[in-house]
């Protein structure tokens, strides 16, 4: 049986950020991961929040925890190599992330859940559905796609760059090799836009990353292409960030239209919308939209209104 290590980890007490405490969970044969939890109302469905590249469960979802917990139980793991997530000597694979999440759900006695994937978390959510279908009652895919780098030439350039960076051991060299355009598009914060306390907290979270695994994750994103999204057979919703330069709105929309019956929510913002208070409302709406379809009888008044 998986072992839950009851070691609560507090965030920076000076940060004043609504981020729940977390605990470490041992996954037999895999390693130790880290999960933030909010119980939600009694009997509420579970939502599993999967963060983006170079983020963590806390950084990606801090605006969402409180409003979403009014309706759902929340589980937000740090994916492998990110934050306090599982460490491994193996090369980073998105499929392994999906398997980690499935194993974490088993450890926490979660039979199934609505799985929300943001940016890199989107491919992990898609792979979780494909590899562990019984665990996924519904999907919410935000600021993401089933193909991050369209075109063979662009994909080759991106993945070659990430592979070269992953093979470099000096942090200074790595920093100088990362193009500013990619850093700006994927970075979860911009220093000029956040309070000092939040800035310190986010920086501390990011210092926990495993640099090799982060770079290998970038390479894995560049290779990801799920041609099978049209086979998704659970209720789904897609949140399209209409000013996104990292995952273009066209890429996001193409995926949304390919998923049978997927609802579409639009947010007039870019790839770092997760740092904005306005991010919470579309996430809550999308999760409720999926929940009333995935769990018949739940929120019956909303279900009637949806008809």
Confidence (pLDDT) at 167: 58
Instruction: Please give the DSSP secondary-structure letter assigned to residue 170.
Output: -
Q: Which residues pair with 237 in a beta bridge?
A: 140, 263
Residue 238: which of 219, 254, 214 has the closest Cα? 254
Residue with tokens 């609802």: 263
Beta bridge mates, 266: 240
Q: Position of tokens 């969970």?
A: 25
What is this structure's pTM? Answer: 0.84
- Strand ranges, E, within 10-52: 22-27, 31-38, 46-50
Task: Please report the sign of the dihedral spanned by the C-alpha atoms of residue 88, residue 90, residue 92, residue 96.
Answer: negative
In CATH terms, the fold of domain 3-306 is Rossmann fold (3.40.50)
The conformation of residue 13, written as its DSSP 8-state character, comes to: T
All residues at 6 or more sequence positions from 305 whose CB lies less than 8 Å from its CB, including other chains: none
What confidence score (pLDDT) does residue 155 get? 60
State the pLDDT at residue 97.
98
Instruction: Enumerate the domain spans of the chain.
Output: 3-306
Alpha-carbon distance of 231 to 52, in angstroms, equals 24
Q: Tokens 């469960």 — which residue?
A: 57
Place of tokens 């919703």: 237
d(CA 108, CA 147): 31
- Tens digit of pLDDT at every position of the chain (307 positions): 444 433 333 443 434 567 888 999 999 999 999 999 999 999 999 999 999 999 999 999 999 999 999 999 999 999 999 999 999 999 999 999 999 999 999 999 999 999 999 999 999 999 999 999 999 999 999 999 999 877 666 666 655 655 565 555 433 344 444 444 444 433 444 444 444 467 777 888 888 999 999 999 999 999 999 999 999 999 999 999 999 989 999 999 999 999 999 999 999 999 999 989 999 999 999 999 999 999 998 875 554 444 4
Residue 182 has a pLDDT of 40
pLDDT reported for residue 179? 45
Structure tokens at 192: 């000029």
């Amino acid at each position: 049986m998986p072992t839950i290590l009851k070691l609560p980890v507090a965030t920076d007490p000076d940060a004043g950020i609504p981020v729940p405490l977390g605990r470490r969970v041992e996954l037999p044969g895999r390693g130790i991961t880290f999960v933030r939890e909010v119980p939600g109302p009694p009997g509420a469905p579970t939502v599993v929040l999967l963060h983006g590249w170079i983020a963590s469960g806390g950084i990606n979802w801090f605006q969402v925890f409180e409003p979403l917990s009014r309706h759902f139980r929340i589980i937000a793991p740090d994916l492998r190599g990110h934050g306090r997530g599982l460490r491994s000597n193996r090369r980073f694979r998105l499929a392994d992330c999906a398997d980690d999440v499935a194993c974490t759900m088993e450890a926490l006695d979660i039979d199934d859940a609505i799985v929300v994937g943001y940016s890199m978390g989107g491919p992990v959510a898609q792979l979780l559905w494909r590899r562990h279908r019984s665990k996924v009652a519904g999907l919410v895919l935000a600021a993401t796609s089933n193909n991050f780098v369209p075109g063979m030439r662009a994909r080759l350039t991106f993945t070659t760059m990430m592979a070269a960076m992953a093979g470099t051991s000096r942090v200074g060299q790595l920093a100088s090799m990362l193009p500013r355009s990619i850093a700006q598009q994927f970075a979860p914060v911009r220093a000029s836009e956040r309070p000092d306390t939040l800035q310190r907290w986010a920086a501390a979270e990011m210092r926990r990353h495993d640099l090799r695994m982060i770079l290998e994750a970038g390479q894995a994103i560049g290779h990801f292409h799920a041609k099978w999204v049209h086979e998704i057979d659970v209720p789904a919703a897609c949140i399209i960030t209409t000013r996104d330069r990292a995952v273009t709105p066209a890429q996001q929309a193409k995926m949304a239209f390919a998923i049978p019956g997927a609802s579409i929510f639009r947010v007039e913002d870019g790839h770092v919308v997760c740092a904005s208070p306005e991010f919470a409302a579309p996430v809550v709406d999308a999760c409720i939209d999926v929940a009333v379809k995935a769990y018949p009888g739940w929120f019956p008044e909303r279900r009637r209104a949806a008809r």
